[in-house]
Chains A and B, each alone.
Chain A
Amino acid sequence: MNQFLDIQTAGIILAVFSVIWVALGYYWGRGSGELDEYMLGGRKVGLALATATAMATWVTSNTTMVAPQLAFELGLWGMVGYSLGSVGLLLFAPMAKRIRELMPNGYTSGDFIRLRYGNTAWRIFLLISLFYSIGWLVSLGMAGGILLEALSGIPYRIGMSVILLVCVLYTMLGGLKAVIGTDFIQTIIIVSGIVIVAVLALKSPGIGEIYDATERKRPGLLNMLLPAGIMFLFNNLFFGMGEIFHSNVWWSRAFAFNKGVGFKAYLLAGIFWTPIPIAAGFIAFASFALDVNILEPDQVGPIVAAHLMGSVGAIIVFIIVFSALASSLDSLLAATSDLLLEDVYKRHIKPDATKPALRKAAIYVTGLLGLLTWALCMPRLNNLAQLLHFTGAFVASTIWPIVAGLYWKKTNPVAAAIAMVAGSSLGLTAYFLVGFYVAALTGVAVSFAIVVAGSYLFPRQFDWKTLNEEPHDH
């Protein structure tokens, strides 16, 4: 494959941005001595930072790589379906408000499931959430290595190791404050970069030529009746909803945002995010007009973008990609560490741990999580979309236990637990029997049926005040 950036230039950019992110992490981390400051930014993050971090976290390597890949593989439905990932952000807006009201002292999504449904459902949820988080972390780490290799020839293992190391370092140093602060800067870089690439693609080769070339070379991609594409549409929507509704990445932000900020921040982030996968997916279609041969579909986005902008422009692509990766990796590292710290370490291993002890343990947990991710990324496991969609069945099975748990007093805890297990199992079965594009849909359908039927047949009354747990001791 032709590299668009020489390895020395790529190395310099990597080094410069690595130093910047780590220095900012250190700077913002100086005032995060308290546990709540470190884990939740003091629970007083304002609207601008809140919107930027929600958006930057959702614009990830998956947007820059998987959105074009899905357009390349499933055509128009792939592109449109991926942009429906924004629905998860939009619908989480009212949920974030509700979460903040019901759980003013909450730390993680695990806290909610534990208090709402009890220990069995909580442990099932933890397994699902940790499996998903580690799967996403690995896909991000792998994406980093693959992208740097594709763009500049930096060997996969070196690129992947550097990106992981940098993100782990500044997350360890600064906690959520560092994550949100860097996300703000990264959002500006990502949005500016994608606008530049999209404008260049529209100027040359131009929308008419892109359409003609696609119709001539891959007419099936413009077919609105492509069966796999039609099946994919709602599957991806539920996959995105499942990711956002259950993941501590989004819950920890709901707890961290200042009162009244969560609703507006998630709504704005969803609106701003929607066109990004359309622009990224459109780039995949440009590959046909540009006669760029694609061997690995998960690299079509960055390769075409670098092709459009030439060697100088490749620097911009490289920085966008690095920012997109870092903005998601750091968020996921911080949120997963919180989940491990609060739900595994504090609740299972050291129930009497004090806040200062937890603050200290948080650093070790982040470091160990980074190390585990690195070890799992060393072999290139699978293609990115496959790895990502494998988790679809799991996360989609949590949608109804969470939605019904937040809004419906009668929800039965046993039904919620069974819904997560059955939804995951049958969704996974559909993944292997039919394809990745029905796994999440099957998971949510099964989970919905069990939660609703179980709660109508065996209703349980719940006191919402139970969710307002006393804060950790000092």
Chain B
Amino acid sequence: MIHLTKKAPWLFVFLVSSLLAQPGQVELSTDTKTTREGKFKLTWTAGSLSKDVHFRLTEHEPGSQREPIVFLEGNHKGITISGKSNGKFRYVLEAYSPENPGEILASDSVEVTVRHHSLTNAFIAFTTGAVLFLITILMILTGHRKSDPEDSSS
């Protein structure tokens, strides 16, 4: 549920532009609703619009003070977004067709939640790897020093 408050006037602008735009022909989709790597792919279709259609992808974070930003503009079919920090990200795609200047077609919004693994888990994996690696190196180098097959009998 989105609440308009005085603290977030940009949200009002974002919603009004979405409401003024005509939904229907532009479809925006994501390959995942939740990601633990901060990476996801957004793709879109423009129905019967011409190939020259100009797209604008807007991102905002519900619940944050950050204003919506234009993430991508141009004649693209999608984008892979990576390096996102924890949070919820909402995307809306707008399409401007050269055949109907002034007319804006907008997609429904798509929301993606980024929830990274905890740093504790990450460092457990890192430490396990480091210890195993050292043991493996030790085994190989010690064995290499006793390179005579007859002597390698530890």
Contacts and interface: CB of A to CB of B under 8 A. Distances in A.
Contacts of A294: 79-80
A255 interface: no
Given A73-B39, A94-B141, A238-B132, A296 B80 contact: yes
6 cross-chain pairs, A with B, having the tightest CB-CB distances, nearest first: A234-B129, A407-B143, A220-B83, A218-B83, A94-B144, A221-B83
Contact of A95 (B77, B83, B116, B140): B140
Interface in A407-442: 407-409, 434-435, 438, 441
Interface stretch (A32-40, A116-124, A223-231, A273-281): A223-231
Interface residues of B, number: 46
Given A74-B37, A435-B37, A230 B122 contact: yes
A290 interface: no
Interface stretch (B12-20, B100-108, B145-153): B145-153
Where chain A touches its partner, the secondary structure class is helix
A97 B145 CA distance: 11
Contacts of B84: 220
B72 interface: yes
B153 A448 contact: no
Contacts of A226: 38, 83, 116
B126 A230 contact: yes
Interface stretch (A54-62, A159-167, A398-406): A398-406
A241 B137 CA distance: 11
A209 interface: no
A235 to B, nearest CB: 7
A227 B132 contact: no
A438 B82 contact: no
Contact of A295 (B80, B116, B125, B130): B80
A124 to B, nearest CB: 21
B128 interface: yes
A27 interface: no
Interface of A: 72-75, 91, 94-95, 97-98, 101-102, 218-223, 225-228, 230-231, 233-235, 237-238, 241, 293-297, 399-400, 403-404, 406-409, 434-435, 438, 441, 444-445, 448, 464-465
A409 B132 contact: no
B78 A75 contact: no
Where chain B touches its partner, the secondary structure class is mixed
A241 B140 CA distance: 12
B126 A75 contact: no
9 contacts: A75-B83, A91-B137, A98-B143, A218-B83, A221-B82, A227-B116, A234-B130, A238-B129, A409-B153
B109 interface: no
A196 to B, nearest CB: 27
B36 interface: yes
B123 A230 contact: yes
B117 A228 contact: yes
B140 A407 contact: yes
Given A219-B83, A220-B84, A407-B139, A441 B150 contact: no
B25 interface: no
Looking at A97, A221, A226, A448, which has the most chain B CB atoms within 10 Å of its CB? Answer: A226
Nearest to A396: B132
Interface in B23-69: 36-39, 41, 43
Contacts of B72: 293
